[in-house]
Structures are given as C-alpha cells and as structure tokens.
C-alpha cells in the first residue's frame, strides 16, 4: 500500500543550494518492510491519480529536523543554570537532576513532555543521552516508540572516581559495560526500527580507561553506534591532554570509539589532525552553537570541518543550550559563524579580528539540521527524495503572535530564510515520521 501527498517542497540537497519542488506528488509505502520509504516524487500534473492528502495553499513541506545532541534528563532545567563553567555546572546542577531519574514516575512525565514538545518543534529524529539508570533509559526508548519519534537512545556510562559523584556513577567498569549491554538489548527488544540504541560514554573525564575500552569493544561486538562529548571546552580538552597526553579524538580512537556512525558533541577544540582522522573514520560532529557560547570557550569552525570532509549536523544540547528548537539552532549557527569570521573585540584591527571564511548562511544551516545530521547519524532521512524515509514537517505563513509571515515581496528564497529563522511550533501544522502523521 502507498499514500500520496501533494505539496510544494523546500529543502537543501547540498549546503549551498535551496531546492524548491512546486506542486509535486510524493508517494511513500505505508505497509511492509519498506514502510515510510518514499517511492516516487513527480510533478502532480504527471501523477495521474488523486492525492490522499493535499497541503493547503501557502503551506510548504520541509524535511524533518535531526537533533544530534539532547540530554533528555536535563529537560526540566532547560533555560536555567547557565552561569557556571562546565565542570561546576555538571556537579552543582546537572548530576543531581539526572540522578532523580531512578524515580520512574518522574521519568515517565518528563519523557512524554519532552518528546511531545520536540516533535511539535519539528524534531523528527533525536539523538539522546538518557540517564545512567537502565530502566529510565528503556522507558525513554519506549516513549519514543509510543509517540512516534525517530531516536537513538543511549544509557549514559560513567564511572570515574573523581569525574563523577559517588551517588551518580556505575559501580565499576565491568558493571558499566554490563548495564550498557543490557540497555542495548532492552532497546532492541522493543523491535522498532525507528528507535535504536547507541553506546554512550559520557565523556573521557567521567570514564575510566577500562570503561572506555569495554564500551569500544561492546560497540564492535554488538554493531552499535557510539556517541560522546569531544574537545568541548578549554577545561575538558586540557584535562584529556593532561591525562592521556593526546586529544579526545586520538584517545577515543584508541578505545574503538571513533568509527562510522559515531556522534561527537561539540568538538570546538579539535585540531586539523583530529579533523583528518574523523573524516577518514566516518565519525561526525554535533555542532551545538548556543551551548558552545556558554560552555565551549570557542566557536566551532563548521566550515573548516566541512572542508576537511567531516560530517557535521546540529544539536540543541538540551540543556547546555537553552532552547528546544533546532530551527533556532540554525539561526544561532549562522550568528556564531559571523562572529567567528568578524571577530568580537573592536580594540583589535578589523583585518586580524576574526577567522576568514568562517561564515555560513541559512541554507547551509538548514542543510546541517537535516542532510548533515542524517549523515552523521547514518539514517535515511533529512531529504524528501526517493529511497529515504518520509520524515517531514509542514509550515505555513503564521498569524499573530508568530512573526512568520509571507508578504508579496517574499520570493521562495526569502520565504525559506524566514521559515528557518522565524518558524515557531504554532507555524508547524503537521509532522510526519516514517510516513506516520503525528498530530
């Protein structure tokens, strides 16, 4: 069985190209092993059959957004507590909150609230750090299955005696590996292709070498993706240089944690040599522009990473970033790239204030949020094209109090730029994941 939607599509197949498909028929499978897969896109005038659904005049269809970095248990502190450096923020605000998720009633309420909200914001794929608690992690995966969000869900492994508090850690490297194995098995047992496990060492400062090695071995044995943080701040990057005498990327690679499908959050401080390594391994980066402004001590050089051949997508880094919307991160990615290029200190001469050729535009930012993220997560989404999953959002010209409006002076390029910068959940009228309508 198939279903056909008639719509005008706006999307970015490459980072410098806006594609507009006016009045097309998009047909996807609704049953069988290929459910959700797009099988045909053609001009509606050539389709020859009525559509099952037609988007209203003025609405456009865009690919769903791929958020590569979310700390699910930090959802209740979104928008708060951004006044401390990373190492204190973790111990004073974040670990105490994450430790609460052994309370499954609390976890149930938070997960449902968060997944519902993210879907309404157009986040059709989410890559989650869950909590250290095995049951709460499985519950998050179940919530994604029930509410229809595509997700990679990872139990957070952390055992380091000084890098974690004794009330929120794995008891030993072996128990950390065993719990991570059990989490992979529990999520796979849900038997939902859309929701898959991901091995999740928190970051090197929170993990013993034995745990990192065990998780690298486990990822290879079970063929599971990996996510972790990488060279996030001066403190974190410097800590790894001191402890291991090498960068995060070099060290994670020793443990088998850098491979195709690995999602590395932040990576602001990666070296050119690190970028070469990531490009050849197939690992990718979750660029979290707003969070980096609070904790990263630097702007991630997105154009330098892309030029080196590294896959890059975007992350909200809830709650290190204080916004839930990945479209908002597109705007932030553009903003920080301009600040990197221009520099920030007017006391310095203009020609030596910034880093040349660093800026990106709204088209590149949306590409990061869709195609880029899909490549990093190694998922067939991010673009409305034959062979990929029908993960999409419909956006229309809004009404007050939303500022999103299409005036007669707005051609397609301007209208797209407005959507990327201004669209609110109230402007997102429909959300599909795998062809399933979620509203």
- Give least dist CB 69 to Zn ion, A: 6
Total chain residues near Zn ion (CB under 5 A): 2
- Give least dist CB 127 to Zn ion, A: 11
Q: For residue 278, how many other CB atoms are within 10 A of its CB?
A: 26
Residue among 68 and 184 whose Cβ is closer to Zn ion: 68
Residue among 21 and 206 whose Cβ is closer to Zn ion: 206
Cα separation, 28 vs 168, in Å, equals 45
Q: CB neighbours of 81 closer than 8 A, spacing ≥ 6?
A: 89, 93, 94, 319
For residue 37, give the DSSP letter: B
- Classify the C-alpha dihedral 252-258-263-265 as positive or negative: positive
- Give least dist CB 186 to Zn ion, A: 23
User: Mask: binding to Zn ion, 259-278, rule CB under 5 A, as x and -?
Assistant: ------x-------------
- Classify the C-alpha dihedral 9-12-13-18 as positive or negative: positive
For the chain, first and last CA: distance in Å? 22
- Give least dist CB 291 to Zn ion, A: 7
In this structure, are strands 428-433 and 392-395 parallel, antiparallel, or unpaired?
antiparallel
- Give least dist CB 126 to Zn ion, A: 13
Cα separation, 21 vs 10, in Å, equals 7
- Give least dist CB 7 to Zn ion, A: 35
Q: What's the angle, vertex CA 69, arms to CA 67 and CA 75, rounded to 5?
A: 95
**Torsions phi, psi of 117, nearest 5?**
-65, -45
**Torsions phi, psi of 129, nearest 5?**
-85, 115
Residue among 163 and 398 whose Cβ is closer to Zn ion: 163
Residue 5 is encoded by which pair of tokens? 């939607």
User: Mask: binding to Zn ion, 297-326, rule CB under 5 A, as x and -?
Assistant: --------------------x---------
- Give least dist CB 218 to Zn ion, A: 21
Residue 407 is encoded by which pair of tokens? 């005036």
Give yes or no for a contact between 175 and 127, defined as CB atoms under 8 angstroms apart.
Answer: no
Cα separation, 39 vs 4, in Å, equals 10
Residue among 215 and 393 whose Cβ is closer to Zn ion: 215
Residue among 274 and 317 whose Cβ is closer to Zn ion: 317
Residue among 15 and 69 whose Cβ is closer to Zn ion: 69
Residue among 75 and 416 whose Cβ is closer to Zn ion: 75
- Give least dist CB 338 to Zn ion, A: 24
Residue among 128 and 432 whose Cβ is closer to Zn ion: 128
Binding region for Zn ion (CB under 5 A): 265, 317
């Amino acid at each position: 069985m198939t279903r056909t939607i008639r719509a005008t599509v706006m999307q970015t197949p490459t980072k410098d190209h806006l594609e507009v498909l006016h009045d097309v028929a998009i047909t996807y499978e609704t049953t069988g092993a290929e459910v959700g897969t797009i099988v045909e896109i053609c001009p509606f005038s050539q389709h020859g059959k009525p559509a099952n659904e037609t988007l209203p005049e003025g609405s456009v269809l865009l690919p769903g957004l791929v958020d590569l970095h979310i700390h699910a248990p930090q959802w209740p502190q979104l928008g708060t507590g951004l006044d401390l450096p990373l190492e204190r923020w973790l111990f004073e605000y974040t670990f105490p909150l994450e430790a609460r998720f052994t309370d499954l009633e609390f976890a149930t309420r938070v997960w449902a609230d968060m997944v519902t909200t993210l879907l309404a914001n157009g986040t059709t794929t989410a890559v989650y750090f869950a909590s250290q608690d095995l049951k709460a992690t499985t519950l998050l995966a179940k919530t994604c299955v029930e509410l229809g969000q595509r997700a990679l869900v990872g139990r957070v492994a952390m055992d380091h005696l000084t890098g974690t508090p004794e009330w929120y850690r794995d008891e030993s490297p072996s128990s950390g590996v065993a719990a991570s194995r059990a989490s992979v098995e529990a999520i796979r047992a849900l038997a939902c292709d859309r929701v898959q496990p991901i091995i999740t060492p928190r970051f090197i400062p929170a993990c013993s070498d034995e745990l990192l090695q065990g998780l690298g071995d486990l990822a290879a044995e079970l063929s599971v993706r990996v996510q972790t943080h990488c060279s996030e701040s001066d403190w974190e990057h410097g800590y790894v240089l001191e402890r291991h005498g090498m960068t995060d990327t070099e060290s994670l690679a020793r443990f088998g944690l850098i491979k195709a499908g690995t999602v590395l959050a932040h990576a602001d401080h990666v070296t050119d040599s690190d970028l070469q390594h990531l490009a050849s391994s197939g690992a990718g980066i979750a660029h979290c522009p707003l969070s980096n402004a609070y904790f990263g001590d630097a702007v991630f050089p997105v154009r330098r990473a892309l030029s080196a051949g590294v896959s890059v997508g975007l992350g909200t880094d809830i709650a290190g970033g204080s916004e839930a919307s990945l479209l908002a991160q597109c705007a932030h990615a553009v903003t920080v790239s301009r600040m990197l290029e221009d520099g920030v200190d007017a006391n310095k001469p203009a020609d030596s204030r910034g880093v040349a050729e660093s800026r990106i535009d709204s088209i590149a930012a949306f590409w990061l949020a869709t195609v880029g993220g899909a490549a990093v997560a190694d998922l067939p989404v991010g673009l409305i094209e034959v062979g990929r999953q029908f993960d999409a959002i419909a956006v229309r010209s809004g009404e007050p109090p939303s500022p999103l409006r299409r005036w007669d002076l707005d051609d397609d390029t301007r209208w797209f730029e407005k959507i990327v910068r201004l669209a609110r959940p109230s402007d997102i009228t429909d959300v599909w994941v795998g062809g399933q309508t979620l509203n």
